[in-house]
Amino acid sequence: MINILSSITSTQNGMLGDVASVPKCIDKSCQRVIWRKRASVPITEDQVRGIFLRYDTNKDGLLSKEELKNAFASLGSRMPGVRAWLALQHADVNGDGFINEAEFDKLVKYTLKRGYKIN
């Protein structure tokens, strides 16, 4: 008797547990993940690299202040000129006014820290 009762109780608990936990996941946490993906998300390192490479418009392998400005404008910066200047202050290690391949990583990391979002 006791065994039957306890097995029924545990089965019911198990069923209740399943019913209660599964829809919770679908309704709340799972949907939240989907919504987060649909809303604007922080840009990834690869995307930042891609944008800067694309904005090397004269294809000399260096990013000038003007090219940086255009890149930051495309990232949605409200002050792309200022942002380009600040990025050069931060990443232009040899001070020639251009971002070369060696300085590129620093530029990408700097840009990622600004937390630009894309849709």
18 sits near Ca ion (criterion: CB under 5 A)? no
13: alpha, beta or left, given left = phi > 0 and alpha = psi -120 to 50?
Answer: alpha
83 vs 92, beta carbon nearer Ca ion: 92
Q: How far is the CB of 65 from Ca ion (least distance, A)?
A: 10
Q: How far is the CB of 102 from Ca ion (least distance, A)?
A: 8
Where does this chain touch Ca ion (CB under 5 A) — which range of 15-23, 32-40, 77-85, 95-103? 95-103
Q: What are phi and psi of 42, to 5 degrees?
A: -60, 140
What gap in Å lies between CA 101 and CA 94, rounded to an integer? 12
Q: Give the count of alpha carbons within 13 A of 82, CB side only.
A: 4
Q: Which two tokens stand for residue 7?
A: 């097995």
Q: Is 76 helix (H, G, I), strand (E, B) or coil?
A: coil
Binding positions for Ca ion, 23-52, rule CB under 5 A: none
Binding positions for Ca ion, 60-89, rule CB under 5 A: 60, 62
75 vs 103, beta carbon nearer Ca ion: 103
How many residues bind to Ca ion according to rule CB under 5 A? 8
What gap in Å lies between CA 52 and CA 39, rounded to an integer? 24
Residues that bind Ca ion (CB under 5 A): 56, 58, 60, 62, 92, 94, 96, 98
